[in-house]
């Protein structure tokens, strides 16, 4: 028996005017001649994003959703070089505290997935510094929300830079330069082009990092059957306080196989579930579909007709 919990990414298709990713470009920021006024505007946008984030958490509780990914765009320009040293946490403490109090009352698995420019295997010193700065921003936000940062931040391995083996070794080298407080946040995901589940597993086992298995990415790019590595992938979570985490999405079409569809194909997901049932106590499945929570609701509705699934609540079930 395996418990499956479904989650979704960043924003809702059902809540109006609730974007947690409102932003401001650097050009807009720099056009405001009074720097203090410009920063105050950034803080107003960030405050609105956090208020909407709390609305999303309440929406999740209403629908018994226990797994949610925060937007990495909560604080506009937080990692811009011209704003280094900006203390965005202090003015946002009231909003962060409200999220903290709500999560204490309604526990939920939450985390981040920073954008593609966060590269731990880069050989560019400036890019690596910016990566550390961005990861620090995520860590500070998690702490501000009262969330233990350990294993809350999903990263891809990075770029191949024309030599995949060298790029893997560069990741290991840069890992030694990464502060321990950032290392402990990180979990690694396979991608759909360069670094397969087997490649990510190599790093995860070598560095003691949990692996997030992306099923769609695996189908698009792999060297061997995922079930050959599944037991080892599960084992990378043995020292974590959190359950195994995976990503699920469906191809937009055969022609655009790597692109994410609006919804999840239930047959594709069920095939995966049949392969893992009984191998692990719990798996949290993050739905990466264009229709966000609508995709979650549709998938749950479609799966309710499947045999062998015992529903615990609206979005969680046991597969036997």
What is the residue extent of each domain of the chain? Answer: 2-319
- Positions of E strands within the chain: 2-9, 67-69, 109-111, 153-156, 186-189, 211-214, 244-248, 282-287, 309-311, 316-319
Identify which of 191, 92, 188, 74 has the alpha carbon closest to the alpha carbon of residue 138: 74
10-residue stretch averages of pLDDT, the chain, 320 residues long: 97 97 96 95 98 98 98 95 92 98 98 94 95 96 98 96 95 98 98 97 98 98 96 98 98 95 97 96 98 98 94 96
Chain segment 195-217, per-residue pLDDT in tens:
999 999 999 999 999 999 999 99
Phi, psi of 210 (to 5 degrees): -65, 145
Tell me what pLDDT residue 305 has. 86
Residue 194 has a CB neighbour count (10 Å cut-off) of 16
CA distance 204 to 55: 35
Residue 98 burial class via C-beta count within 10 angstroms: exposed 0-12, middle 13-18, buried 19 and up: middle
Instruction: Note the pTM of the prediction, 2 decimals.
Output: 0.96
Q: Are 217 and 259 in contact (CB under 8 A)?
A: no
Q: Are 143 and 149 in contact (CB under 8 A)?
A: yes
Residue 239 has which token pair? 């020292």
Tell me what pLDDT residue 77 has. 95
Tell me what pLDDT residue 84 has. 86
3-state secondary structure of 69: strand
Query: What class is the 2-319 domain?
Result: alpha beta
Tell me what pLDDT residue 79 has. 87
Chain segment 58-114, per-residue pLDDT in tens:
999 999 999 999 999 999 999 898 998 899 999 999 999 999 999 999 999 999 999
Please report, for residues 15, 54, 75, 99, the alpha-carbon distance to residue 47 in angstroms, rounded to integers and kept in the order given: 18, 11, 8, 12
């Amino acid at each position: 028996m395996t418990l499956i919990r479904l989650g979704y990414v960043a924003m809702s298709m059902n809540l109006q005017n609730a974007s947690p990713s409102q932003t401001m470009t650097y050009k807009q920021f720099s056009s405001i001649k009074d720097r203090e006024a410009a920063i105050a505007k950034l803080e107003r946008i960030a405050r609105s994003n956090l208020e909407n984030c709390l609305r999303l958490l309440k929406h999740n509780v209403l629908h018994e959703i226990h797994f949610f990914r925060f937007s990495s765009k909560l604080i506009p320009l937080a990692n811009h070089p011209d704003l280094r040293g900006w203390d965005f946490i202090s003015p946002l403490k009231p909003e962060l505290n409200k999220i903290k109090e709500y999560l204490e009352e309604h526990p939920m698995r939450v985390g981040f997935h920073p954008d593609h420019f966060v590269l731990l295997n880069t050989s560019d010193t400036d890019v690596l510094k910016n990566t550390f700065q961005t990861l620090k921003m995520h860590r500070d936000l998690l702490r501000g929300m009262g969330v233990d940062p350990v294993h809350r931040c999903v990263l891809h391995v990075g770029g191949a830079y024309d030599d995949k083996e060298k790029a893997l070794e560069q990741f290991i080298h840069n890992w030694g330069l990464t502060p321990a407080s950032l290392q402990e946040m990180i979990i690694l995901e396979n991608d759909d082009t360069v670094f397969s589940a087997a490649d990510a597993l190599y790093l995860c086992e070598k560095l003691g990092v949990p692996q997030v298995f992306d099923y769609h990415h695996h189908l698009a790019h792999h060297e061997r059957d995922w079930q050959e590595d599944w037991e080892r992938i599960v084992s990378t979570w043995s020292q974590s306080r959190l359950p195994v985490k995976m990503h699920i999405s469906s191809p937009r079409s055969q022609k655009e196989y790597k692109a994410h569809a609006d919804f999840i194909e239930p047959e594709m997901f069920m095939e995966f579930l049949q392969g893992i049932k009984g191998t692990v106590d719990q798996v949290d499945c993050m739905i990466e579909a264009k229709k966000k929570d609508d995709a979650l609701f549709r998938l749950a509705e479609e799966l309710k007709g499947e045999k062998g699934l015992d529903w615990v609540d609206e979005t969680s079930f046991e597969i036997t």
